[in-house]
């Protein structure tokens, strides 16, 4: 059955010669960012497909993420939006929220992402969320009525997952230290370092 008429937004993440590398963008956990992007869902609960791409030829803007509109967004006039310098967690969160609310063509671009638009041939949208050049980017506000409540539940779910992850990492670290301590004690016993001095 063809479901293309209801296709969700899609993300293309550049991971070529510069994007996603510590040499070009130090201080960023690029694999963690890619994993986080892969958890983004739209308001229906569908996971947004993420495709890793070779170099997109915008190396000076690393990391580059291209947001493809959903079928509804494209029908409303939405076009792919290229985002550059996506290196901070708050930008990924803003991207998550934008896609959850509808993405290109269906809801305004978040303020946090405006300065990061690098779409070819596009001008940055003004304060009202409209573009200065027709066809490059459309951000007509169409809000889902139940979006806020669902988004809150979604954020709580992420926070809960993060809490469990940190708890698991802490337990693994504790177990690792215990194993290392036991191994060190075994090595000392083999060398006789821990043996009590013999009586004269």
CA distances from 52 to 37, 124, 198, 200 (A): 11, 25, 66, 72
SS3 at position 85: coil
Based on the number of CB atoms within 10 Å of its own CB, is 17 exposed (0-12), middle (13-18) or buried (19 or more)? middle
Which of the two residues, 190 and 60, has the higher pLDDT score? Answer: 60
Helices and strands counted in the chain (H then E): 5, 4
- pLDDT tens across 129-177, in order? 333 333 333 333 333 334 444 566 666 667 777 777 777 777 788 888 8
Distance CA 8, CA 48 (A): 6
91 cis-preceded (ω within 30 degrees of 0): no
What are the DSSP calls for 103-148, one per residue?
-TTTSPPPHHHHTTB--TT-----TTS--SSTTT--------TTHH
Average pLDDT of the chain? Answer: 79
d(CA 123, CA 130): 10
Q: What is the pLDDT of residue 133?
A: 39
Comparing 156 with 180, the larger pLDDT belongs to 180
Residue 107 has pLDDT above 80, yes or no: yes
Convert 47-81 to b/e letters by CB count within 10 Å (16 or more is b).
ebebeeeeebebeebbbbbbbbbbbbbbebbbbbb
List pLDDT tens digits, range 81-100: 999 999 999 999 999 999 99
Answer positive or negative: Cα dihedral of 80, 39, 163, 20: negative
pLDDT (tens digit per residue) in 27-44: 999 999 999 999 999 989
Q: Is the pTM value of this prediction over 0.75? A: no
CA-nearest of 76, 54, 49 to 64 is 54
% of the chain beyond a pLDDT of 70: 74
* DSSP 8-state assignment for residue 26: T
Residues of the chain above pLDDT 90, percent: 53
At the top level of CATH, the class of 4-143 is alpha beta
| Of 160 and 14, the one with more pLDDT | 14
pLDDT at 125: 39
Sign of CA dihedral 167, 171, 176, 178: positive
Which residues are paired to 95 by β-bridges? none
| Rounded average pLDDT over 120-135 | 40
């Amino acid at each position: 059955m063809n479901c293309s008429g209801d296709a969700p937004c899609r993300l293309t993440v550049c991971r070529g010669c510069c994007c996603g590398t510590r040499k070009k963008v130090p201080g960023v956990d690029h694999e963690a960012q890619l994993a986080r992007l892969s958890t983004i869902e739209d308001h229906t609960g569908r996971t947004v497909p993420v495709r890793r791409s070779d170099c997109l030829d915008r190396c000076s803007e690393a990391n580059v993420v291209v947001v493809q509109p959903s079928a509804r967004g494209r029908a409303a006039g939405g076009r792919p939006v290229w985002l550059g310098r996506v290196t901070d967690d708050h930008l990924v969160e803003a991207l998550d929220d934008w896609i959850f609310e509808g993405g290109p063509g269906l809801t305004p671009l978040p303020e946090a992402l405006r300065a990061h638009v690098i779409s070819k041939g596009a001008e940055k949208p003004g304060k009202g969320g409209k573009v200065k050049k027709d066809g490059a980017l459309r951000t007509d506000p169409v809000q889902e009525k139940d979006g806020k409540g669902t988004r809150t539940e979604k954020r709580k779910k992420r926070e809960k997952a993060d809490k469990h992850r940190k708890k698991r990492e802490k337990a693994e670290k504790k177990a690792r230290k215990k194993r290392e301590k036991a191994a060190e004690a075994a090595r000392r016993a083999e060398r006789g370092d821990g043996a009590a001095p013999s009586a004269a």
